[in-house]
Structure 1
Amino acid sequence: MSSTPTLRTGHAVQGTFDELGPTLAETTFVVVDLETTGGSPATSAITEIGAVKVRGGVELGEFQTLVNPHAHIPAFISVLTGITDAMVAESPSIAQVLPSFLEFARGSVLVAHNARFDVGFLRAAAERCGLDWPAVRVLDTVHLARQLVPRDEAPNHKLATLAALFSSRTIPDHRALHDAKATVDVLHELIGRVGNQGVHTLDELLTFTSRVSPAQRRKRHLAEGLPSRPGVYVFKDAQGRPLYVGTSHDIRSRVRSYFTASERRTRMAEMVALAESVTPIVCGTRLEAQVRELRLIAAHQPRYNRRSRHPDRGVWIKLTDEPFPRLSLVRQLRDDGATYSGPYTSRLSAEAAVAAVHDAVPLRQCTSRLSLRPRGTACALAEMGRCGAPCTGDQTVEDYAAVADRVRDMLRGDCRAVVGALHRRMADLSGEDRYEEAGVVRDRLLALVRGAGKAQRLAPLRATPELVAARRAPGGGWEVVCVRHGRLAGTVVTPAGADPMPHVEALRASAEHVPEPSSVGLRGAVGTEETELVLRWLETDGVRLVELDGSWSCPVHGAQGEHARLEPLVAAATDPGFDAWPVRRSRGTASLVAH
């Protein structure tokens, strides 16, 4: 099989120029201000709405009306706004006013000074009136001013302060239309300031923040022309070397986010500063995109990708092939007749799994290779009954083989003996109120079945020459994948309403060739993440098996069943309301043990 990260599907594309949304000169803004009977929409009501519609610096229309709140206006509110009960007595209700305002604001960007207040009241009123709140975009001039007006220029960011700073044509006086007009002037001044920083489109304005450096913002042109399609994107430096590989259901939108406030990772800002181009690779399915990402990261090891850069660093448990086998942890697999299980995600979890086996089975724990000749004296483990002392001749090769077979069966797919012994051990410790020690055994058991269960689920898929499966695509048709020896060999999405079988046959004929793994060979950690992705997809609801060359099954008495039973019980330890287990604390962590 070729080591290059390619599939028989997907392709890089050169998109057409596509600006980052409408320019600010083309955007219609509706600047709104409300007067209310109080500060909370849950206990107060609207008394006045004022709004101004503008585009390109030109006023297009106004909206103003008093509103009868059908409630008493507090005296201090009347003093502040000048609106009294008598003034609103004959005014329309919010149910009569709100539909007209929503029509006035339709298709525009809603602007307010402290938008959370005004939009909160409008949304609450719409809900009470049984009206659907539109999917309107909102711009808060307070938030924008905080980014653009420093404290040495203005003591605060209140509307009156900003209106005075920018010499607004209208003085805000707590009447809705006057305040809305003052906000229009503030908005135009702020737009002028962001324009000096290279912000010229609506999307850039809505995501503007002073935390984004000018250098980072200047790189936003890298998103121009990228497709709004699912797939993989690759940031590259001036020499064309990959800096970072990622996936998204919308490549253009995701790449754009690297130049806005939504991207806060320091290393990503550093990466963007070095990037000179972005290569998109459109993929038909999310699974294909995920696999391509893994392969590209493994092939190029981009400096700013932290995940999957070194997939060969997994830890494996090895049961050696010798007269008196023992367990060891290794980084590489060899064709040496030994039994391997893994990879484990960390050395710590692998060590816990080995300790679980030693808790259940009297396997020797010494590290040297034993000859058939007895030598020396028994160790402390033998005196404790945790080793049969084959080193002294007290245990024959045949007797020891029966012990080693229990471990080998556990690693290969029959965990009953080992798991049963560990449960008995936990029960004995719990019966003696030794909950801390029982909790340690339980945690070791979980590490063992978690790692062994994963290995036992992946091994049958790696051994399967070819498997074709399908599930319904969101837009109609079928997502079809071809898997060979645990690797994604190809994928296709069939047209809606079309017979999928010709597409299935074409996929099988053109799918990537994947050679049969040797006894170790491709079973290494390099392809494990990919096989896990494929298996996770195959196990999702709605997936149907179309073709199968060979057999695909998991052991009936494997570790996965015990893992599925034990994991929720351990996870429940983090639930403060869970008290079905005795809880003891050791070194700051809770241990739970069933009894």
Structure 2
Amino acid sequence: MENAVQGTLDELGTPLSEITFVVFDLETTGVSAEEHAITEIGAVKVRGGRVLGEFGTLVDPGTPIPPFISVLTGITDVMVAAAPKIGSVLPAFLEFARGATLVAHNAGFDVGFLKAACAAHGHPPPEHPVVDTVTLARRLLTRDEAPNCKLSTLARLFSSTEPCHRALSDARATVDVLHALLERAGSFGVHTLEELKGFTRAPTPEQRRKRHLAEAVPAAPGVYVFEDERGDPLYVGKSVNLRTRVRSYFTASETRPRIREMVGIAVRVRPIVCATALEAEVRELRLIGSAKPRYNRRSRFPEKVVWLKLTDEPFPRLSVVRELKDDGAGYLGPFGNVRAAEEARAALHEAVPLRQCTDKIPLRVTDRTRRSACALAGLGRCGAPCEGRQSPEEYGVHVAAARQAMELDAGPVFSAIEARMERLSQDQRYEEAAADRDRLASYVRVSARMQRLRSLTSIPQLIAAAPVADGRWEIHVVRYGRLASAGVMPRGAHPTPFVDALTATAETVAPGPGPIPAAGAEETECILRWLESPGVRLVQVEGGWSLPAAGAGRLKERIDRAYQGLGTEPHRRREGRPER
């Protein structure tokens, strides 16, 4: 009879019920651990489903907190003035977390700041095991249960605590999310910390079984289409190396639940080889927009964008529309949804006193057509053309200012909203200030985007080339912001006949109305990114290619720096990676 041998703890694994978890969250002045500082730490210690203790403190970052961050979190310079510095807070937190497994939502962000603080104050880097609830959620939840992995979305499913961008509150919500996900993982046979780590990395049986689908895919740039047994597209993607990318769907690196579900349904992968990576990116967008594969999230409904229109009538107004017309009206967009367009409209109304009613006002107001002015006239926010108090010429001054702000200079709108936010913040009316912040962001971002798009969509034809490592050249023909042709010129070939042939066989593009007359905004943005990449050379440009001197791009940088990594909508550290 053989002697029985008892396994070691390492071999058996540590039961999750015996693990001490310290679930923590940080609030910071920005997204970069090297450039920004911690303003608040919140942590909850749990074991076996029981709360053992909590840790929470504000932290003096040593630098002013940006106004946009104060609006978001409610943490102001006054609040942290008497708070301890991170140098004195850090030892207490490390002691609180000693011997525990750290948990955070998008842990890379919070652990990155923690490591940076340890390095700056002479502490060894934390060597705790780390569990990321974003990774767990991707592995365990389907898109029907949770459309995304934001903390706010998961908290609505699993917690009675609503995340509010304060560290301790968010940590408490994350505790509930963690417990719910661990319970779900138990049904997959995950009962130890070691099994949990392996579970998030292991491919599913379906992924292993269908690896053969990648065998016939070429190692070339292009688009790949996962199809079901009827030949309907399930998912469309692109890559500079189709074989390598498709193979990754059948490995442990692919952890997205809905994509693993898609792999289980797919019966084939159809490759579409393209001449260049840019052509592949554009073809992917067009295929997603036309086929609308159910497992793609982004770019499926390009036709659903909306626009803010400065109507063409005697007394124009701002209207949210879905259709562009060649009617002489001014347009701002595209917006992803009606709410964003309405926020931008509110921002413009704050700076320019256009009428906000929807009535048709004739060129001459008579006793029969005269209407009573609304409350905005009494507040000085409208000149009451409906009562005949403002002539078309007087009102036209405001119309010109609105069109200037929409198309060329966002500065007046930015200044008006910024001043109002400052007043509201001083009065501690943070919710109202946050609403203004979102209106301003919607306006500035779309204004900068439209100006950038128009710089290319106004050009009848542009030809550009970029060198390839082996001496060849990628050449693209772009017409009104639409990719019309793509090719790779062989090494040593004469460029003139090659470019002439590529141009002659390029797609004929007839421009339509509005700022994006021939292609979707995403396609034009892909082309712009390529044109701005290192090494690209312009071969031919019909007309000029420029941006407004006082354009919104400079203001967008300020908006993005204030939001980056910390907002509700732009709080990307809690959302996970973008995907199609």
TM range, smaller chain = 0.5 to 0.7
| Distance apart, 1:237 and its partner CA | 2.3
Q: Tell me how far apart the structure 2 counterparts of residues 455 and 506 of structure 1 sit (CA, whole Å).
A: 32
Q: Tell me how far apart the structure 2 counterparts of residues 210 and 551 of structure 1 sit (CA, whole Å).
A: 53
Aligned partner of 1:507 in structure 2 is 502
8 Å CA contact 1:208–1:260 kept in 2: the answer is no
Q: Tell me how far apart the structure 2 counterparts of residues 222 and 366 of structure 1 sit (CA, whole Å).
A: 59
Aligned partner of 1:528 in structure 2 is 521
TM-score (norm 2): 0.58
SS at 2:463's partner residue? strand
Deviations 1:30-78 (A, max 9, x none): xxxxxxxxxxxxxxxxxxxxxxxxxxxxxxxxxxxxxxxxxxxxxxxxx
Q: Tell me how far apart the structure 1 counterparts of residues 562 and 252 of structure 2 sit (CA, whole Å).
A: 40
Question: Given the superposition, is the C-alpha separation of residues 225 and 351 from structure 1 closer, same or farther in structure 2, using an over 3 Å criterion?
Answer: same
SS at 1:533's partner residue? helix
Q: Tell me how far apart the structure 2 counterparts of residues 220 and 304 of structure 1 sit (CA, whole Å).
A: 19
2:295 counterpart of 1:301: no
Which residue among 234, 241, 261 is the counterpart of 1:243? 234
| Distance apart, 1:434 and its partner CA | 6.6
Aligned partner of 1:122 in structure 2 is none
Query: How many residues end up aligned between the 2 structures?
Result: 367
Which residue among 450, 456, 459 is the counterpart of 2:454? 459
2:513 counterpart of 1:519: yes
Q: Tell me how far apart the structure 1 counterparts of residues 226 and 342 of structure 2 sit (CA, whole Å).
A: 38
| Distance apart, 1:395 and its partner CA | 1.7
Aligned partner of 1:212 in structure 2 is 204
Aligned partner of 2:326 in structure 1 is 335
SS at 2:347's partner residue? helix
Name the % identity: 52
Aligned partner of 1:282 in structure 2 is 273
Where does the alignment leave 5 or more consecutive residues of structure 1 unmatched? Answer: 1-205, 575-595
Aligned partner of 1:252 in structure 2 is 243
| Distance apart, 1:343 and its partner CA | 0.4
Which residue among 371, 384, 387 is the counterpart of 2:382? 387
| Distance apart, 1:210 and its partner CA | 6.4
Q: Tell me how far apart the structure 1 counterparts of residues 234 and 426 of structure 2 sit (CA, whole Å).
A: 57
Deviations 1:129-166 (A, max 9, x none): xxxxxxxxxxxxxxxxxxxxxxxxxxxxxxxxxxxxxx
Where does the alignment leave 5 or more consecutive residues of structure 2 unmatched? Answer: 1-197, 568-580
Deviations 1:187-207 (A, max 9, x none): xxxxxxxxxxxxxxxxxxx99
2:336 counterpart of 1:345: yes
Deviates further, 423-432 or 241-250 = 423-432
Q: Tell me how far apart the structure 1 counterparts of residues 246 and 411 of structure 2 sit (CA, whole Å).
A: 50
SS at 2:533's partner residue? coil
Over aligned residue pairs, what C-alpha RMSD do you find?
3.0
Question: Given the superposition, is the C-alpha separation of residues 558 and 211 from structure 1 closer, same or farther in structure 2, using an over 3 Å criterion?
Answer: closer
| Distance apart, 1:346 and its partner CA | 2.8
8 Å CA contact 1:462–1:486 kept in 2: the answer is yes
Which residue among 536, 539, 545 is the counterpart of 1:546? 539
8 Å CA contact 1:479–1:494 kept in 2: the answer is yes
Aligned partner of 2:225 in structure 1 is 234
2:468 counterpart of 1:473: yes
SS at 2:564's partner residue? helix
| Distance apart, 1:453 and its partner CA | 1.4
Question: Given the superposition, is the C-alpha separation of residues 310 and 208 from structure 1 closer, same or farther in structure 2, using an over 3 Å criterion?
Answer: closer
Q: Tell me how far apart the structure 1 counterparts of residues 333 and 515 of structure 2 sit (CA, whole Å).
A: 14
Q: Tell me how far apart the structure 1 counterparts of residues 329 and 315 of structure 2 sit (CA, whole Å).
A: 12
Structure having the higher Rg = 1
Q: Tell me how far apart the structure 2 counterparts of residues 386 and 493 of structure 1 sit (CA, whole Å).
A: 57
Deviates further, 348-357 or 409-418 = 409-418
| Distance apart, 1:561 and its partner CA | 2.7
Aligned residue type for 2:319: S
Aligned residue type for 1:544: R
8 Å CA contact 2:203–2:250 kept in 1: the answer is no
Q: Tell me how far apart the structure 2 counterparts of residues 389 and 287 of structure 1 sit (CA, whole Å).
A: 51
Q: Tell me how far apart the structure 2 counterparts of residues 563 and 521 of structure 1 sit (CA, whole Å).
A: 19
TM-score (norm 1): 0.57
Q: Tell me how far apart the structure 2 counterparts of residues 557 and 245 of structure 1 sit (CA, whole Å).
A: 39
Q: Tell me how far apart the structure 1 counterparts of residues 200 and 446 of structure 2 sit (CA, whole Å).
A: 45
Question: Given the superposition, is the C-alpha separation of residues 210 and 312 from structure 1 closer, same or farther in structure 2, using an over 3 Å criterion?
Answer: same
8 Å CA contact 1:406–1:417 kept in 2: the answer is no
Question: Given the superposition, is the C-alpha separation of residues 249 and 323 from structure 1 closer, same or farther in structure 2, using an over 3 Å criterion?
Answer: same
Q: Tell me how far apart the structure 1 counterparts of residues 468 and 257 of structure 2 sit (CA, whole Å).
A: 37
Question: Given the superposition, is the C-alpha separation of residues 286 and 207 from structure 1 closer, same or farther in structure 2, using an over 3 Å criterion?
Answer: farther
Deviates further, 351-360 or 228-237 = 228-237
Which residue among 402, 410, 414 is the counterpart of 2:405? 410
| Distance apart, 1:339 and its partner CA | 1.4
Aligned residue type for 2:409: D
Q: Tell me how far apart the structure 1 counterparts of residues 516 and 342 of structure 2 sit (CA, whole Å).
A: 24
8 Å CA contact 2:203–2:254 kept in 1: the answer is no
8 Å CA contact 1:458–1:531 kept in 2: the answer is yes
Q: Tell me how far apart the structure 1 counterparts of residues 406 and 391 of structure 2 sit (CA, whole Å).
A: 23
8 Å CA contact 2:373–2:384 kept in 1: the answer is yes
Aligned partner of 2:27 in structure 1 is none
Question: Given the superposition, is the C-alpha separation of residues 487 and 378 from structure 1 closer, same or farther in structure 2, using an over 3 Å criterion?
Answer: same
8 Å CA contact 2:312–2:327 kept in 1: the answer is yes
Deviations 1:550-578 (A, max 9, x none): 2222222222232234432443867xxxx
Aligned residue type for 1:523: P
8 Å CA contact 1:359–1:441 kept in 2: the answer is no
Aligned partner of 1:556 in structure 2 is 549
Deviates further, 233-242 or 268-277 = 268-277
Deviates further, 236-245 or 480-489 = 236-245
Question: Given the superposition, is the C-alpha separation of residues 233 and 351 from structure 1 closer, same or farther in structure 2, using an over 3 Å criterion?
Answer: same
| Distance apart, 1:426 and its partner CA | 5.0
8 Å CA contact 1:207–1:261 kept in 2: the answer is no
Aligned residue type for 1:444: R
Question: Given the superposition, is the C-alpha separation of residues 392 and 208 from structure 1 closer, same or farther in structure 2, using an over 3 Å criterion?
Answer: closer
SS at 1:523's partner residue? coil
| Distance apart, 1:482 and its partner CA | 1.1
Question: Given the superposition, is the C-alpha separation of residues 237 and 570 from structure 1 closer, same or farther in structure 2, using an over 3 Å criterion?
Answer: closer
| Distance apart, 1:217 and its partner CA | 2.9
